[in-house]
Structure 1
Amino acid sequence: MIDDLEKVVTSVLPTDPSFRLIGREELDRCINEACQNALANAKDAFLLSLMRLLALPGNGHTRLIPNNAISVLPLRFVTIGTTTRLLDARSDISAAIGGELISINGVPADYIERSAEKYLAGTPQRKRVIGPIMFAWPSALQLLGVPSDGEKITYRIRHATGRIRELSLDTADLVRASTFYPRNEHGKADASWAPQSYCKIRDFGQSGALIVLPSFFDPSETALSAAIAEAATLAGSLPARTLLIDLRGNSGGNFLRTMPLIDAISEGAKDRRVGLLVDKFTFSAAIVFSAILKYRLGERLALIGEEMGDGLTFFAEGGTIELSSSGAAVRYSTAFHDWAGGRTDETTPAEIAERMVPAGALEPDRIWAENSDDVEARDRFCREVFESLST
């Protein structure tokens, strides 16, 4: 693990510009703590130390991802709105699924959440996305002040009816964290969920059309471009039609390849209205997509859902380093983005800088914290949105 730490100190910290404003003393304190845990062969404590170190800049694209390196209790917690819910669990305790987490070993969930903040990178919304893994990680719970009675951890879960259910799980009954917590958290009940296509279109006739864009990350480098071309053709063929674009759960990818759709939407009728569905699981390139559309459409664009997973000023690009000894991964950044003020610096790639726009603030015009996959409920909501956008 000393080798892992050296890789972070020599390769990530000097490269990632988000660390420029972090004082040397603060960095050294976190590095020394990680070193002590590595020398003690305390793997989980070491990983938590690295999480704290990499969270110092408050930049969500710069962070330690422990999911493949740790074991957790067989519980999948996800933050829906501002409450933490159990969305999946081992089959014999599945009756508690859907309930809200109240406490762990008597400690209120919101207290644990606040205690975990310093280990989590990024904005409050991103912390709500990546933080729930801490509720199922026994080593983290101990560090966050949850007392242990030895072999059991007891969760109190409240159902929508108000009924309280207690779950007592053996701390030895662990599974690989990636079973319940994907590296790119999407907020779905099924941790293994992956988009089946890059574009789905639902035509609501004269009311408008829904375009679902679940991801902008395409390893094949062809499927996304084809999907964007399909969506752009639709937008261009219906220049006056209201469009609703669903970016919920879209963790990003390459925004440059979405520009044909942005252009097609922008070139529509001057009175065309567009709605964007977003949530805390909307990240990176999907946020940039939203910023450019907002800049071009102004008041004709309505943001619907909840605050997205990052702000408009951040460091990104970069890459991922795998830590061979611990099994964790480090995401680091190399480029400055400012889609609020339109600023660039020497780290901003030219192809991004030439498209940088001052979008201002991107705050929801209408709150909707819904993560259900119920198509009928979604369609009803879409019809309501189309009606509100047309008035």
Structure 2
Amino acid sequence: MSLVEDLEQILDVVVRIDPSFQAVEPGIVEACIRDVRRDALAEKEGEFLLSAMRLLALPANGHTRLIPNDAISVLPLRFVTVGKSVFLTKSGAVPSNSPIRKLIAVNGIPVEQVEAVAQSYLAGTPQRKRVVGPILLSWPLALSHLGAASAGDTTSYLMQDAEGQADTMVVDNSNIVPASQLYPRNEHGQMDPVWDFKTLADIAVWPGIGLSVCLPSFLETDDNRLSRSIAKAAAQLRSYAAVPLLIDVRGNTGGDFLKTLPLIDAIAESSNKRRCAVLVDKFTFSAAIVFVAILKHRLGRNLILVGEEMGDGLKFFAEGGSVVLPSSGAVVRYSTALHDWASGSIDRTTPPEVAEQILKVGKLEIDRHWTASPQHVESPAETYQRILRELH
């Protein structure tokens, strides 16, 4: 197989399938296609993937993108953006007990400068780019295109610990691992790449304080695990109708928001009897944002948004699916349908079942800005109890 076959799959998405490209100036699309074609014909796989990332990022739609994770190898370093800073959270290049440290520079180039050049390769909003961008910081080939090329056979990282002390970590460029080991395709933002949640709706009662429900994912399973979890959570919430409620959708990259409607109904039924808050972050995406939007529409001022700006706006293209490129193994995520929860508009691409639920939400403003510090770890229980106390 050749990269030309991958190119054909990408062009099918760009030219024929994905409606988000209709808003992009045709000349810009054609210029990017020429770059992708050039690299495909030269069989330069890494450069081809980067060119394709830039092409698929043109609509600024977070659901439409090239995901290189399964096709590339990276240095054994997991970087995650917390707030607006990048932190090294897990590494095979340093002892496992090393503290989490902030990234200051790569090969002598300030990380902010590298991130600025990376913007054109990353899809979606600025927040979404902070979600998917850190993988580029451990990919030597990408660094060479972002103005932070290695001078020799190693890559150096200037790091800073919690006390402000800086030190340099040097990694041999031959010390690489499959990127998917450190960067999951559905990036959730946890310190460890493997996030093994036991339940899709984890409810905890904090005596004298309130109730919390953690919703890590809205992806349905073959055994209808999501539907069953939502039904159980809705029943439990109705049993505690008068205590403060905190809903945690941090790291929830979405799924099927229609399956969550029974839970929204249960929350709304008692919204005049208690104070409610929802905890969000940049890794709250897609159907999880829709969940928050509907909840805010139903509860109004009775719902407080805590955290940081979410990973997308209220208008985006979604649905669609994924294509595995036959030669490189990279994944193309494409969209087919408009979701506009800002104005409540629909068009011919909006699925009927979604159109029935569309609401004019306007904006989702964060009421209380808060971001957890990775260097001063607070357990979820501590976070929940602290926020619930503030609701009293």
How much has 1:93 moved relative to structure 2? Answer: 4.7
Moved more, 231-240 or 132-141: 231-240
Pick closer, same or farther for the CA change 1:80–1:274 going to 2, 3 Å: same
> Does the 8 Å CA contact 1:278/1:304 hold for their aligned counterparts?
yes
Moved more, 201-210 or 106-115: 201-210
> Does the 8 Å CA contact 2:61/2:124 hold for their aligned counterparts?
yes
Letter in 1 for 2:12: T
Letter in 1 for 2:210: G
SS in 2 for 1:321: strand
In structure 1, what is the Cα distance between the partners aligned to 2:12 and 2:126? 29
How much has 1:359 moved relative to structure 2? Answer: 1.4
Q: Which residue of 1 aligns with 2:340?
A: 338
Moved more, 228-237 or 307-316: 228-237
Q: Which residue of 2 aligns with 1:74?
A: 76
Q: Which residue of 1 aligns with 2:314?
A: 312
- 2:29 counterpart (24, 27, 34): 27
- 1:40 counterpart (30, 36, 42): 42
In structure 2, what is the Cα distance between the partners aligned to 1:117 and 1:59? 13
How much has 1:188 moved relative to structure 2? Answer: 1.2
Is residue 106 of structure 2 the alignment partner of residue 104 of structure 1?
yes
* 1:123-272 correspondence runs (5 A): 123-272=125-274
SS in 2 for 1:153: strand
> Does the 8 Å CA contact 2:99/2:375 hold for their aligned counterparts?
no
**1:189-243, CA deviations, whole angstroms, 9 ceiling, x for partnerless residues?**
2212232211111101342100011100122251111110111011212222221
In structure 1, what is the Cα distance between the partners aligned to 2:161 and 2:19? 45
SS in 1 for 2:259: helix
In structure 2, what is the Cα distance between the partners aligned to 1:386 and 1:178? 36
In structure 1, what is the Cα distance between the partners aligned to 2:31 and 2:88? 35
Moved more, 332-341 or 143-152: 143-152
How much has 1:378 moved relative to structure 2? Answer: 3.2
In structure 1, what is the Cα distance between the partners aligned to 2:378 and 2:119? 37
In structure 1, what is the Cα distance between the partners aligned to 2:338 and 2:163? 47
Q: Which residue of 1 aligns with 2:120?
A: 118
Letter in 2 for 1:172: S
- 2:381 counterpart (372, 379, 382): 379
Pick closer, same or farther for the CA change 1:236–1:374 going to 2, 3 Å: farther
In structure 1, what is the Cα distance between the partners aligned to 2:388 and 2:72? 45
**1:117-154, CA deviations, whole angstroms, 9 ceiling, x for partnerless residues?**
00000000000000000000011000011132121111
In structure 1, what is the Cα distance between the partners aligned to 2:253 and 2:101? 25
> Does the 8 Å CA contact 1:271/1:300 hold for their aligned counterparts?
no
> Does the 8 Å CA contact 2:14/2:21 hold for their aligned counterparts?
no
In structure 1, what is the Cα distance between the partners aligned to 2:48 and 2:374? 37
Using structure 2 for the length normalisation, give the TM-score. 0.96
In structure 2, what is the Cα distance between the partners aligned to 1:379 and 1:201? 11
> Does the 8 Å CA contact 2:372/2:378 hold for their aligned counterparts?
no
Letter in 1 for 2:198: Q
> Does the 8 Å CA contact 2:342/2:363 hold for their aligned counterparts?
yes
* 1:86-105 correspondence runs (5 A): 86-90=88-92, 92-94=94-96, 96-105=98-107
SS in 1 for 2:278: strand
In structure 1, what is the Cα distance between the partners aligned to 2:114 and 2:215? 34
The count of aligned residue pairs is 390
Q: Which residue of 2 aligns with 1:285?
A: 287
SS in 1 for 2:23: coil
In structure 1, what is the Cα distance between the partners aligned to 2:190 and 2:388? 25
> Does the 8 Å CA contact 1:73/1:173 hold for their aligned counterparts?
yes
How much has 1:382 moved relative to structure 2? Answer: 2.5
**Structure 1 alignment gaps of length 5 or more:** none
In structure 2, what is the Cα distance between the partners aligned to 1:179 and 1:269? 42
**Structure 2 alignment gaps of length 5 or more:** none
Moved more, 381-390 or 356-365: 381-390
Using structure 1 for the length normalisation, give the TM-score. 0.96
Pick closer, same or farther for the CA change 1:269–1:60 going to 2, 3 Å: closer
In structure 2, what is the Cα distance between the partners aligned to 1:155 and 1:179? 20
Letter in 2 for 1:2: V
In structure 1, what is the Cα distance between the partners aligned to 2:161 and 2:271? 47
SS in 2 for 1:14: helix
Moved more, 190-199 or 298-307: 190-199
How much has 1:172 moved relative to structure 2? Answer: 1.4
**1:140-198, CA deviations, whole angstroms, 9 ceiling, x for partnerless residues?**
00001113212111111100111112111111111111111110001112212232211
> Does the 8 Å CA contact 2:65/2:123 hold for their aligned counterparts?
yes
Q: Percent of pairs identical after alignment? A: 50
